[in-house]
Chains A and B, each alone.
Chain A
Amino acid sequence: AQSVTQPDIHITVSEGASLELRCNYSYGATPYLFWYVQSPGQGLQLLLKYFSGDTLVQGIKGFEAEFKRSQSSFNLRKPSVHWSDAAEYFCAVGAATGGFKTIFGAGTRLFVKA
């Protein structure tokens, strides 16, 4: 069965420091992979996606993610975090079997300290 694991429930980084959020997935075929961000009281916004091709993908707000098939990982990175990046981040895998559905991880809450 498809699944997504985000090992870190929450992470705290200093403003200006680099960020890496971890994501591991389980999926039998080539996955469609996504990162979404959710600010308090709001819906989810797509940061970036991977369907195929270059394994390093660029997204909005200066985020990037790298797909590593050998490690079943799709970690999200940002070189310099801003206070406005504080939010909940969700990794997701799109499954095209048994209908179309997206499976989300439990999320990682990012705190940014001044």
Chain B
Amino acid sequence: DAGVTQSPTHLIKTRGQHVTLRCSPISGHKSVSWYQQVLGQGPQFIFQYYEKEERGRGNFPDRFSARQFPNYSSELNVNALLLGDSALYLCASSPNPGNPGELFFGEGSRLTVL
């Protein structure tokens, strides 16, 4: 069975640009969460979506947005990129959002902002 897939795996952007990251959850999983992992730190929660609705939001600026599609895949958008947005962006799917934390992660999209 396919796990969580993310694209692209690596990308380089310049300050002020925007970026779209994509995630396909495990088949049957209806919840998708996004995390930012800066080098040397633990993942920081950005968003959770379930059944196309936002169910949770972390402490990130409005430059960060996301959405979930009818097939449960998801996009994370970041506008007006800053150098500090350079990080590994992880997507995770969950079979049951009622048990927060039981997450299945993709390998991430590594974003470098120059």
Spell out A's residues near B (CB within 8 Å): 4, 32-34, 36, 41-46, 49, 51, 90, 92-96, 98-107
Q: Is the interface of A mostly helix, strand, loop or mixed?
A: strand
Of A41, A42, A102, A107, which contacts B101 at CB under 8 A? A102
Evaluate contact between A101 and B100: CB separation under 8 angstroms. Answer: yes
Q: B49-63 interface mask toward A, CB cutoff 8 Å, 1 = contact, 0 = none?
A: 010001111100000
Evaluate contact between B33 and A102: CB separation under 8 angstroms. Answer: yes
Evaluate contact between A102 and B105: CB separation under 8 angstroms. Answer: no
B108 and chain A: residue at smallest CB distance: A43
Using known A-B contacts A43-B108, A46-B102, determine if residue A100 contacts B41 with beta carbons closer than 8 Å.
no
Q: Can you list 21 contacts pairing A with B, beta carbon distance less than 8 Å?
A: A32-B99, A32-B100, A33-B101, A43-B90, A43-B92, A44-B43, A49-B102, A92-B42, A94-B101, A95-B100, A96-B100, A100-B31, A100-B48, A100-B50, A101-B33, A101-B48, A101-B56, A104-B35, A104-B44, A106-B41, A106-B42
- Name, among A43, A96, A100, A102, the residue most crowded by chain B CB atoms within 10 Å (CB to CB): A43
A43 and chain B: residue at smallest CB distance: B105
Evaluate contact between A102 and B103: CB separation under 8 angstroms. Answer: yes
Looking at the assembled complex, report how far the CB atom of A68 sits from the nearest CB atom of chain B, in whole angstroms: 19
Evaluate contact between B101 and A49: CB separation under 8 angstroms. Answer: yes
Evaluate contact between B100 and A94: CB separation under 8 angstroms. Answer: yes
> Bound complex: CA of A43 vs CA of B9, how far in Å?
11
